[in-house]
Amino acid sequence: MPTIAITGKITDASGVGVEAILVTLQPESEDPASAQVMSGVGILLLPVSVQTDSAGDFSILVEIGFRYRLIIEAIAWSRVFVAPDSDISFHLLGLVPEIESITDYQTDDCVGVMIGDPAPLVDKVILTIKADPISTVRERYRDIRIEVAPTQYGAYVEISTVIELEEGVTFYTAELDGPNTEWYRARYSDGVPTDYSLYSPPQQADGETEELVISVDELKAIYMFGVDLTDDDGNPFPDRMIEHYIKAAVARMEKELDIPITPLELVDELHDHYAQDYGRWGYFQLHKYPIICLREVSFMYPSQSEEVIIDPEWIVLVEAGDSGQIQIVPGQGNIADVLLIPGQLMPLWSGATGRVPGVWRFDYRAGFEVGDVPADVKDAIGMQAAIGLFNIAGDLVAGAGIANTSISIPGLSQSVGTTSSATNAGYGARILQYEKQLKTLIPLLRRFYGKGTRLEVA
């Protein structure tokens, strides 16, 4: 395997180089239970050390592509990195944006009223990028630049999207157009730019057809911070398990609020005709909301051979679709008396009760588009998903099913007790806190977003 050199210099407070400072290189596999192997080459998980020379300089070789930790105890330095493809100064190691996930999806970008055939689907990708430690990164860089290429080793081109680094913000997202087969990489710049960091490893969209409301990495970093998400053997919790709890939390929140959170397509939703409503500008309350876009409104009386498509210029989305209410304001006449049909005006018969069942039909898209879920709804989903994981992690604090453990040898003994018991999880306090917050938050969300809270004025 080819190697590159990591170089650096250690000085005292006056700037004089210091000799014999120990610099240790520790191979660091992603999985504690796995070895480091690449292209048929494996490396020993044993440290290698060098010392600075009389001028305080050092140089240590690493194999390109492998993961390491560089430790310089004299200056309290410890950083994990993946060896780049060219020589580098040690102070730049690890300061690389990490592309946590790339999710691809398709959308027709519909907004508001769009009568007729849906627009062609457009390929989109959402990149979630981690900048950590953000305080250190912002001391040197100002933004994140993204490059794209048709193949992993192709000619990369920088896209116009520039992500500004913000104080205290670790995770960033970028929604981009383009084929979901392309490869992406990112690097920091100082904003001019005259100084760049190394590139993140190239990644391709993961091919998932379902976008999670909150990513696995966001859940870990925001709602599970400080929690050891590994089993007794050091194996990390599988992403599949974490994704399950996120999806379950979304499904529960949809039931709590009685609204779709992820986008939902509805076709031929039937509504009755009420003469008293349509005499007041054709009021309708659709079953699902918020409305992302209204694709088609049609009317079909039982005696008609084909449906009548309502002119989109007649349609008004109340509160931009957030309430699920629409009104029909015809260009001529009164909607209670006439419907515009090619070549004629047809009286609308509604019988003695003023009601005709199931003659109006609505095609629309409801919910929140990818990346547009409100922060407070997303917060509730994150806490709900974390509770399930806390229950599992809590059982493993001292080992599966262990509440207390002790070790003893002649003359010495040590006992460790946890909060785990037959009725309490190891992270019971955090679970109770999240449940308390949800108990306060969900009624507020239900009043603002949920059904039964909108005034219906006929």
DSSP H helices, 272-340, are: 275-278
Strands of 249-354, DSSP E: 264-274, 283-285, 291-299, 308-309, 315-317, 325-328, 338-341, 344-347
Task: Give the span between the Cα atoms of 412 and 406, in whole angstroms.
Answer: 11
Task: Look at residue 49 in the predicted model and tell me its pLDDT.
Answer: 96
C-alpha torsion sign, points 321, 322, 325, 329: negative
- For residue 339, name the pLDDT band (cuts at 50, 70, 90): low
**Interval 117-158: pLDDT, tens:** 555 566 778 888 999 889 889 988 999 999 999 888 888 999
Strands of 92-197, DSSP E: 98-107, 112-113, 122-130, 143-149, 157-164, 171-177, 183-189
Task: Look at residue 378 in the predicted model and tell me its pLDDT.
Answer: 93
Peptide bond into 133 cis (omega under 30): yes
Is 70 exceeded by the pLDDT of residue 31? no
Lowest-pLDDT choice from 118-122, 236-240, 288-292, 372-376: 118-122
Is 80 exceeded by the pLDDT of residue 357? yes
Contact 157, 147 (CB under 8 A): yes
Percent of the chain predicted with pLDDT > 70: 77
Task: Look at residue 110 in the predicted model and tell me its pLDDT.
Answer: 67
Amino acid at 304: Q
Q: What is the pTM assigned to this prediction?
A: 0.59
Task: Give the span between the Cα atoms of 253 and 31, in whole angstroms.
Answer: 34
Mean pLDDT of all residues in the chain?
80
Is 90 exceeded by the pLDDT of residue 11? yes
Coil, strand or helix at 49: strand
**Interval 76-100: pLDDT, tens:** 999 888 888 788 889 888 788 998 8
* DSSP letter assigned to residue 117: S
- For residue 333, name the pLDDT band (cuts at 50, 70, 90): low
Contact 308, 340 (CB under 8 A): yes
Task: Look at residue 443 in the predicted model and tell me its pLDDT.
Answer: 92
Task: Give the span between the Cα atoms of 385 and 378, in whole angstroms.
Answer: 11
Coil, strand or helix at 55: coil
